[in-house]
Structure 1
Amino acid sequence: MSKLFLSIGSICAALAVILGAFGAHALKSNLAADMLEIFETGVQYHFYHALGLLAVGFLAIHYPESGYLKWSGWLMLAGIIIFSGSLYILSISGVRWLGAITPIGGVSFIAAWLLLSIAILSAN
């Protein structure tokens, strides 16, 4: 489990850097300021949670059987896809109803961090 989340976290971090650079260079002159800000929020949360996935992976080295860690990692990944993904698509496409699914990703992030805390507190 540790290698899996370390790999996923590393890939997510690389994608966050790529998307951040894309936003700063390719989208800056093509998006309205409010849409660019939405895109940048997606990148921020994407990167924070890529680091969270790395934390899950490092902790999984010591606690490989922790179901809480496993769920925390999967929920962080789901949050990146749903929260950040919806913001990326919304900002580029202008399809506003996508904002309605963004909170589902936010709840996924919150649950992931709470499960990470439970995993740490319940570790022997």
Structure 2
Amino acid sequence: MVAAGVSGALAVALGAFGAHGLADAVSPERLATWRTASSYHLAHAVALAVVALAIRSGWRARASGVLFVVGTVLFSGSLYLLVLLEMPILGAVAPIGGVAFISGWLALAWTAWRTPEA
């Protein structure tokens, strides 16, 4: 839950920075990339909170949380850096983060499917 809270706060702060600090500093396309990064970042902060609530369900829930963190760092992080550093090669990292996000969601679904109802 700590990771979810910190990640959510960071997503909001970075989203605000993009809206206010980068609006006149980067192209509209790069600003759209920043918005994508912050949207996915915030969505997966919420997903981490869900994982925290399910963590007693075992290793699948923990794996889901790890995959969400890895996905946030690789997907959103690479897009943030792409915008700030103008290094298009960083865009190649984003799909790896996307796969981590998808895997995290599937691990969360597997957790729910395999956990007996209380």
> TM (normalized to structure 1)?
0.92
What is the alpha-carbon distance in structure 1 between the residues aligned to residue 97 and residue 74 of structure 2?
5
Tell me how far 1:75 sits from its aligned partner: 0.3
Q: Partner of 1:80 in structure 2?
A: 72
Q: How far is the alpha carbon of 1:58 from its aligned partner? A: 1.1
The yes-or-no answer on 1:9 pairing with 2:4 is yes
1:66 is the counterpart of 2:61: no
- What's the counterpart of residue 42 of structure 1? 37
Number of matched residues?
116
- Equivalent AA in structure 2 for residue 67 of structure 1: W
Q: For residues 67-108 of structure 1, give each alpha carbon's deviation from its aligned partner in whole angstroms, at most 9, with x where no partner exists.
A: 100000000000000000000000111100111111000000
Alpha carbons 2:78, 2:94 under 8 Å: kept: yes
Q: Residue type matched to 2:58 in 1?
A: S
Spell out the pairing of 1:15-34 with structure 2 (5 A cutoff): 15-34=10-29
What fraction of aligned residue pairs are identical, expressed as a percent? Answer: 38
Structure 1 unaligned segments of length 5 or more: list them. Answer: 1-5
TM-score, length-normalised on structure 2?
0.96
Q: Structure 2 stretches of 5 or more lacking a match? A: none
- Which of the pair has the greater relative contact order for Cα pairs under 8 Å at 6+ separation? 1
- Structure 1 counterpart of 2:83: 91
Q: Flag as ranges the 4+ runs of structure 1 deviating above 4 A.
A: none
